[in-house]
Amino acid sequence: MKIRLYFLVLLSSSLIILLYQGCNNNPVVTNTNTNPSPQASTQDAKYAVQWMDLLYNAVSNQDVNPPKASRIYSYCSIAMYESVKNGMPNYASLSGQLNGMPTMPGISTTAIYDWPSVIAGSMPIMIRALMDTIINITDQSITSMANTQIAERRKATSDSIVNRSLAYGQSIANQILTWVQTDNYIQTRTMVYNVPPRSQNPAFWAPTDPVHLHPLEPFWGLIRTFALPNAHYCDVPMNKPFDTTAGSPFYNDALEVLNTVANLSLEQQNIALYWQDKLRTGTPAGHWVSIMNQVAGIKNLKLDETVAMYALTCIAMADAFISCWEIKYVYNLLRPYTFIRQYIGPSNWQSFLPIPPFPEYTSGHSTQSAAAAEVLTNLFGTNFSFTDTTLVQLGYTPRTFNSFYAARDEAAISRLYGGIHYRQAIENGKTEGALVGQTVISRVHLKLY
């Protein structure tokens, strides 16, 4: 009787698992709780935060462009998550869930691992490999961070455990880097883009300064997405077609840019500058990485929750950039600068912020901020208040928000204040980013139960 009952329970459990996986497009890789290592839920988040802070500074110091930066943040956060995942019994691997991601190396079920040391083994390899070049200050920072963390962990546990953990982290990084090599990034470095002339279509983008005659990353839409089925999965079509007729919806959008820039309040100027996220910053995605670093402190997150937050949010931001850049080069829309000078006047009109060297629709800031806000709101709720101190070191006053959506909205509208985006690119960009965030949430399952 006992044997029969055990068999029925086992059969029922198997059917539940099969039914769950059958309803889920992405196979969930289960974790085991048999390893004797300490759980990541008992360990300090500072080890992850320190590496993401270093990565922000590396992007800042090396002047990495925004799409590239989002890719770097995403792969590094995935490596960090996988480095710790075996110390997170109720979390699943991202292998089999993200597009093309291979199975990660396993661990000994009887040996003890130190998860902060695993991170210290994986992150130096990841950061150095993902940067196109490494300047001295970045290289030295990586070495110093690794040495400091490893020395601290050797005081907390045995050398043999630290050494085993470092080796495991290195194996995680090396396996992820085999995946990195297949995302089309290398191929797009040598592709040639011929700028379509406005004589072919007056709605087309045109260079706005003699230095940037070619648009930034015209083939970024070909980069393999992380969780989206494809780059155009969350496209939001233009609802105000190009039109030079005075009073038309498109003309009025351009007129709004002209009037807004002419009447900027001091607060609007501050908002435009605060979210510019250009020189000496970690780019737009890095701004949200910095916000996550602050969230980890506000919420007193442990290591497991922190690496999960980084992974899911950075994946969403990277996919948002791919989605946004794909649609930018579908529409190839001119900036307000060009439209105002040619169709409204004055012919010497200037925007408040420097004009980014790529097509206008949709707004990258709006799209990726909306994706990040969607994930973070899903994790921490709609009423999470925080004061953002990201740019204090550059002399900016901290800004306080009553939700992630409020920060998203301010980041988005900053592009109108800067005079570099039409309203439809901002609003539709937020819609696009929200769709990206929701898709990532629905397709990437971190928790097993």
pLDDT in tens, 290-318: 999 999 999 999 999 999 999 999 999 99
Mean pLDDT of 75-103: 97
Mean pLDDT of 45-71: 97
What is the pLDDT, as a whole number, of residue 296? 98
The answer to whether residue 4 scores a pLDDT higher than 50 is: no
* 140-186 pLDDT, tens digit each: 999 999 999 999 999 999 999 999 999 999 999 999 999 999 999 99
* 122-141 pLDDT, tens digit each: 999 999 999 999 999 999 99
Q: Distance between CA atoms of 335 and 261, rounded to whole angstroms? A: 14
The answer to whether residue 10 scores a pLDDT higher than 50 is: no
Mean pLDDT of 412-438: 98
What is the pLDDT, as a whole number, of residue 280? 86
For the stretch 157-163, contacts whose Cβ atoms lie closer than 8 Å and that sit 24 or more positions apart, written own/partner, are: 157/112, 157/114, 157/117, 161/112, 161/113, 161/114, 161/117, 162/114, 162/117
pLDDT over 90 percentage in the chain: 90
Instruction: Give the residues across from 399 on adjacent strands.
Output: 388
The answer to whether residue 2 scores a pLDDT higher than 90 is: no
**Mean pLDDT, the chain, whole residue set:** 93
* 343-392 pLDDT, tens digit each: 999 999 999 999 999 999 999 999 999 999 999 999 999 999 999 999 99
Q: Distance between CA atoms of 25 and 248, rounded to whole angstroms? A: 44
Q: What confidence tier does 115 reach under pLDDT thresholds 50, 70, 90?
A: very high
Q: What confidence tier does 114 reach under pLDDT thresholds 50, 70, 90?
A: very high
CA atoms within 13 A on the CB side of 52: 35
The answer to whether residue 54 scores a pLDDT higher than 70 is: yes
What is the pLDDT, as a whole number, of residue 127? 98
Q: Distance between CA atoms of 86 and 195, rounded to whole angstroms? A: 48
pLDDT over 70 percentage in the chain: 92
The answer to whether residue 71 scores a pLDDT higher than 50 is: yes
Domains in the chain (CATH in brackets) are 26-185 (1.10.606.20), 200-443 (1.10.606.20)
What is the pLDDT, as a whole number, of residue 22? 31
Give residue for tokens 């409204």.
Answer: 344
What is the pLDDT, as a whole number, of residue 35? 84
Determine contact, residues 360/334, Cβ cutoff 8 Å.
yes
pTM above 0.95, yes or no: no
* 228-287 pLDDT, tens digit each: 999 999 999 999 999 999 999 999 999 999 999 999 999 999 999 999 998 789 999 999
Mean pLDDT of 210-225: 95
Report the Cα 212 to chain-centroid distance in Å: 25
What is the pLDDT, as a whole number, of residue 33? 52
What is the pLDDT, as a whole number, of residue 272? 98
